[in-house]
Structure 1
Amino acid sequence: MAPSAARWNHVWVGTETGILKGVNLQRKQASNFTAAGQPRREEAVSALCWGAGGETQILVGCADRKVRHFNTEEGTFQGQRHCPGGEGSFRGLAQADGTLITCVDSGILRVWRDDDKEASSDPLLELRVGPGVCRMRQDPARPHIVATGGKENALKVWDLQGSEEPVFRAKNVRNDWLDLRVPIWDQDIQFLPGSQKLITCTGYHQVRVYDPASPQRRPVLETTYGEYPLTAMTLTPGDNSVIVGNTHGQLAEIDFRQGIPGRMSPKSLKRSTRYLQKTQRQMNFGHPWRQLLRGNYLIRIRPKELSKPNREKRSSRSPLAPENPVPIL
């Protein structure tokens, strides 16, 4: 694919071989982009996010602890930043005010000067957010605010311009009906626009809403979906619900406006997707969704401006699915 055609891709997928795949849903084509010119497993992609300039730049976090900058307009990698420290792979990336924010498995969150290419340079800020991190998420409305959560690492909200203590620390839910402690495993986090509320999905198939502005630190809304770990979540365009996906390739829309107080209503999305291919990758939805979806599934959605699907019989194997996917987040 010509570099200028990269801007028309609707989905961006990172792979275990270091390839960044751009998928054009209209043409039913997938194109490969690599920083080194050939696949390298030591450059396996572990995190993706949009750059601060919008959808013209993607930050690609790799296993060699380098964050590479990919220009979607030109279809090329343009620079990189080495971000050492901590153990494990990247669990989240973000940009804010000329800085790069990284967080790894072991709970080391660092803020780097993004225009500094020296590998030996020290970070501007380092926070220890707790081990077992599964996700770090930036608040789009307040770029200096991030949230973290993971396995036995409850949801926390951090102000990178404030103190080294979290501005909000979630409290675990009450013991179950056998009076046993409920384990913690936050897999993904989203900020709800227009408020301070956050939504999490867990490895124990729960979806929870937290409100730091309320007196309580426990969830203000909670529901469950299915019986398998939830690994992916993104807000819908109306911001009134989230779409969650689990390890068995099932999707559901959780509507905050439905159900009894304190509960939410899950709704199956079987009719909303043309196909669902389990890929266990991280990916990025471009226009018109403009959402970053972290998780274990490649979901092909028909946006409104795309042409209607061909009704002819198709093969059960999609030509767009990445090969040999493995879990990275």
Structure 2
Amino acid sequence: MGESSRLCSVWLGSETGILKGVSLARKQAFNFCNTSHLSRDQEVRALCWGDAHESELLVGCVDGTVKTFSTEKGVFTETRSCGDPADGCFAGLAALDGGALVTCTERGTLRVWREDSGAHVTELSAGPDAARMRQSPVHRNKVATGGKETGLKVWDLQRPASPVFTAKNLRDDWLDLRRPHWVRDMAFLPDSDKVVTCTGYHQVHVFDPASPQRRPVMEVEFGEYPLTALALPAGGGTVVVGNTQGQVAVLDLRGGKAAVRGVLKGLSGGVRALQCHATRPAVASCGLDRFLRIHSLEGRELQHKVYLKSRLNCILLATRDLEATGEEGEGEAGVKEEDEEEDEVWESMERVEEKTKRKTTTEEGEELQKKRKKVKD
């Protein structure tokens, strides 16, 4: 198990509660889970690295537990209770220096947990119906939150009394009607304090905390369907967004006005997670169609496509080369997912052949002529 986990360069969380690792170099996928306790309560909703060396994965489950997975040993090493299922599923998960853990639930309860304590040391409300919490990759003590009718907020966890930035609602439309807002995902733009968000109303917004207006300094719409995820390429200046119809687009944020640079093809089903590689021009996507896909951001061609049997909620890329080679290992045996079981049931059923053959129009006409002849006779 340890050898196989070290091969993986892509990690995904599934609805069935299985942590999935994919080695693109070996073209192999591995399942990691406790087969004796596999249920919908273990559905994986959030993933993040537990340390800078990427030797530990933190896995947030629907039942409010956070599991620690060792990528070196290939096993789960710890389970912590970090939430009440009544607060909703995890909307975000992050690790701080010193082993502290940050969680945010769908009800907007944001907590900081210390490594040496089973209780949280900080709790605040990010607002109801929270959809996502993201950590700043540069200032790791800062996180952003947002949700349905809950605008973007940026928090400094060292000063958690109030957010350091709270976005204003959008300006009224041309009919002076209030425009609703629904933040679905966000990311901190590199080398700045700006934050980019995507919404359930197919909008992309860029916020600048230094701006006194606290409204978006840039706004663009893509498509006609709700946007569900976004990711920032390593080069900067662009953002990748995905929606509920499986459409993924690259938007250019330079020049003061966003424009669609290109659309990635080959997807189907709603996109639930996107992540760009830290150094390579590539983006990984997953969602309802159960495929992991890797697209090039230069030529926009599909580079890898892996079917993983379960609907996928979240994705995490290792910082090393996606196609780095390593020793070949064995995947976990004995893991049978619901889809496999369902397929086996259908395959084991006896085929019923239709014994009666429908008569053609010619045959029906000949029979009708015979009956008429008998009546005349």
TM range, smaller chain: 0.7 to 0.9
Stretch deviating more after TM superposition (215-224 or 21-30) = 21-30
Contact 1:99 1:112 in 2 (8 A): yes
Compare CA radii of gyration and give the structure with the larger one. 2
Equivalent residue for 2:150, pick from 149, 153, 176: 153
The one-letter amino acid of 2:29's match is A
Q: Answer yes or no: is the 8 Å Cα contact 1:245–1:295 preserved in 2.
A: no
Question: Match of 1:238?
Answer: 235
Q: CA deviation at 1:289?
A: 5.1
How many residues get paired? 308
Alignment-mate amino acid for residue 134 of structure 2: R
Structure 2, unaligned runs of 5 or more = 316-377
User: What's the offset of the Cα at 1:254?
Assistant: 1.1
In the TM superposition, 1:1-329 aligns within 5 A as 2-36=1-35, 39-85=38-84, 87-97=87-97, 98-116=99-117, 121-258=118-255, 261=256, 263-270=257-264, 275-278=266-269, 281-282=272-273, 296=287, 298-301=291-294, 320-325=306-311
Given the superposition, is the C-alpha separation of residues 301 and 42 from structure 1 closer, same or farther in structure 2, using an over 3 Å criterion? same
Distance 1:257 1:40 in 2: 46
**Distance between the aligned counterparts of 2:197 and 2:309, measured in 1?**
29
Q: Secondary structure of the residue that 1:77 maps to in structure 2? A: strand
What is the RMSD of the two structures over their aligned residues, measured on CA atoms? 2.9
* Cα deviation digits, residues 55-92 of structure 1 (max 9, x gap): 32221100111101112232221212111246110000
2:141 and 2:156 in contact (8 A); partners too? yes
1: distance between equivalents of 2:29 and 2:180?
A: 40
Paired position in structure 1 for 2:319? none
- Decide which moves more: 248-257 or 34-43: 34-43
Identity of aligned residues (%): 47
In structure 2, C-alpha distance between the alignment counterparts of 1:293 and 1:146, rounded to whole Å: 23
- Whether the aligned pair in 2 keeps the contact of 1:232 and 1:293 (CA below 8 Å) is no
- In 2, the alpha carbon distance for the partners of 1:164 and 1:290 equals 39
Alpha carbons 1:58, 1:72 under 8 Å: kept:
yes
Amino acid at match of 1:27: R
Shift of 1:48: 1.1
Q: Secondary structure at the match of 1:64?
A: coil
Structure 1 residue ranges without an equivalent (≥5): 311-317
Single out whichever of 189-198 and 276-285 deviates more from structure 2. 276-285
Distance in 2 separating the partners of 1:189 and 1:103: 14
1:200–1:207 CA contact under 8 A, matched in 2: yes
- Greater helix proportion: 2
For 2:312 and 2:235, locate their aligned partners in 1 and report how far apart those are by CA, in whole Å.
32
Q: CA deviation at 1:285?
A: 6.5
- Quick check: 2:232–2:275 contact (8 Å CA) kept in 1? no
SS in 1 for 2:3: helix
Which residue identity lines up with residue 301 of structure 1 in the other structure? Answer: I
On the 8 A contact 2:104/2:110 being kept in 1, the answer is yes
SS at match of 2:87: coil
CA 1:294/1:65 → structure 2, altered by over 3 Å: closer, same or farther?
Answer: farther
Cα contact 1:65–1:89 (8 A) shared by 2:
yes
Residues 1:200 and 1:294: Cα distance change in structure 2 (over 3 Å): farther
Cα deviation, 1:183-209, whole Å, max 9, x if unaligned, reads 111000100111100000001110110
State the Cα deviation string for residues 10-47 of structure 1 (Å, max 9, x = none): 32111111101112223332211114556322111111
